[in-house]
Amino acid sequence: MVRWRARMQTPAAQEIYRQRGALAEWTNAQLRQYGLTRFTVRGLAKVTAVVPLLAIAHNLLRWAAVGS
């Protein structure tokens, strides 16, 4: 934790963390709008199988929205 806090004090790390809201958090919010609040499967193997499918679905929906 100490190393992370020290790293976050650098301007480069702060800029990367600032961009997180526009990148990662936006995608998570979009998935919640689609109804994904919890995984409907149990176990790491099943979750790691579902996540790429969600990513593909999200990318296709974004592609359709941008293309129209």
With vertex at residue 57, the alpha carbon angle to CA 56 and CA 61, rounded to the nearest 5 degrees, is 115
For the segment 31-47, the average pLDDT, to the nearest whole number, is 88
- Distance (Å, whole) CA 39 – CA 53: 12
Angstrom distance (rounded) from CA 34 to CA 28: 10
Mean pLDDT of the chain: 87
Provide the pLDDT for residue 35: 83
Please report which confidence band the pLDDT of residue 3 belongs to, taking 50, 70 and 90 as the band edges. very high
Cβ-contact 41, 50 below 8 angstroms: yes
Q: What percent of the chain has pLDDT over 90?
A: 29
